Amino acid sequence: MTDYVRRILDARVYDVAVRTPLDPMVRLAHRLSSSIFLKREDLQPIFSFKIRGAYNRIVRLSDAAKAAGVICASAGNHAQGVALSANKLGIAATIVMPVTTPTIKIDAVRYWGGKVVLRGDTFDEAYDHALALESKHGLTFVHPYDDGDVIAGQGTIGVEILHQHPDPIEAIFVPIGGGGLAAGIASYVKFLRPETKVIGVEPVDAASMKAAISAGKRVVLDRVGLFADGVAVRQAGEETFRLCRKLLDDVILADTDAICAAIKDTFEDIRVLAEPAGALSLAGLKAYALTNPRRSGALVAINSGANMNFDRLRHVAERAEVGEAREILLAVTIPEESGSYRRFVQVLGSHTVTEFNYRYAGGSQAHVFVGLKLTDATHEKAAIIAQLEKLGYGVLDISADETAKLHVRYMVGGRAPALADELILRFEFPERPGALLQFLNGVGADWNITLFHYRNHGADYGRVLVGIQVAPGDRARFDDRLASLGYPFEDETANDAYRLFLR
């Protein structure tokens, strides 16, 4: 440990890296009744801490090694760190990336002057090719985590945290992929403040360090989840395992929902969109705070990066509410008869409805996929389910069902070939508590609802697709009822998508 403390204090990182702030998270601190701080590594030139270790490794190469050039295998932040560092030092850098790497990441590496070589569909294939090129061309391989200079460079974050917060710190939460960041921070913090806990955080589907510590040796995971791709590592590093096994106080696991909730917390507090790996440590901090009510000192999380792919935002938004236990997803069985849909919504009372999916399927029972917003997850969820069951509704809590959350919620529907006289209408109505019930009360119970799709998107207007069975002779009366509602709508009965998939 003493050796690493010297190497950390002697690390060359500030030629390219910046001393990032330690920002208070006021809203989250109020919710969790604790002082909470976020180390803002998203403010580095490459929007990630990886620049520290990469530069500290490359700057210490011999002149001959620098002249020959460096190489690495990476599909993300390490690739940018190596490319920028080499650019700063006037060194040639070859970055081997899987062919599946998003164009935005390839372009970022090229922006910093790196030569991109695309090889293989996976990181392992890219890694093997990089090692072959290293041997063939006499290059220096810059490992993303299992290297003493890289570990020391990442450890400078620990130095900054202790300078920035001289008061007691109960725990520092660090995301773990290969373990370089955790090993570096723990080496310094446990030497200077042994009473401060250093806790690693891994995704439940990529927990290579926790598995290694439990087994007492490094293990290779059969597969890893890719949502938090920045920490999707099948095997912890040899040196990082040695250090983390000795220095970490614990390793906490976080699932996708918890990571999404942490991304939302970060945005709400400091208006930054963390990447999934960047928000991982905050997810672990929240889990720790909820299970350790007696705390003394601040809690610190590392926002390790903000290289978020924009197309992930929809998924993050969908999962954040469930991850924060602010939304419950239920499968509810109700009678298949006119008026039962409206009665069911009335039973929900003041609860904010976040989602409704339903399609007529015939028979005497209807199955509704419903989402409800929660204010007190501990007691409210159980009370809602008990209330519905008391009234005779069949209820299944599917909030933790991955298939339901990823797929089924978008697939509720299907054809209803025996259904006659169906109209399909697309409505807009002001998004406010009780708006859905007001809408259903306005339509009334005279006509059978055959399809319903609604999702609260946090906008000013809610959008609802409704199927209603209206006999031709009753159409004039129905049109008068629609006019009295005052809600803008479009008749989509002739819509091609409806015709092809739902009619």
Instruction: List the one residue out of 123, 133, 44 whose CA is nearest residue 84.
Output: 44
b (16+ CB within 10 A) / e for 190-226: beebeebbbbbbbbebbbbbbbbbeeeebbebeebbe
Task: Provide Rg for the chain, Cα atoms.
Answer: 27
* Catalytic residue, candidates 48, 304, 340, 399: 304
What Å distances lie between residue 98 and 72, 78, 449, 499, CA to CA? 12, 14, 50, 42
> Using CA atoms, how far apart are residues 171 and 27, in angstroms rounded to an integer?
19
Q: Is 296 a known active-site residue? A: no
Residue 354 to residue 330: CA distance in whole angstroms: 11
The single-letter code of the amino acid at 37 is F
Catalytic residue status for 304: yes
Q: Which helix (H) or strand (E) holds 245?
A: helix 238-247
Token reading at 489: 């709508």
The answer to whether 234 touches 173, Cβ cutoff 8 Å, is no
Kindly state the DSSP code that residue 91 receives in the 8-state scheme: -
Q: Is 324 in a helix, a strand, or coil? A: coil
3-state helix, strand, coil in the chain (%, to 5): 45, 20, 35
The enclosing H or E element of 184 equals helix 180-192
How far is Cα 425 from Cα 442, in angstroms, rounded to an integer? Answer: 14
Given the residues 39, 48, 50, 197, the one annotated as active site: 50
- Residues acting as catalytic residues: 50, 304
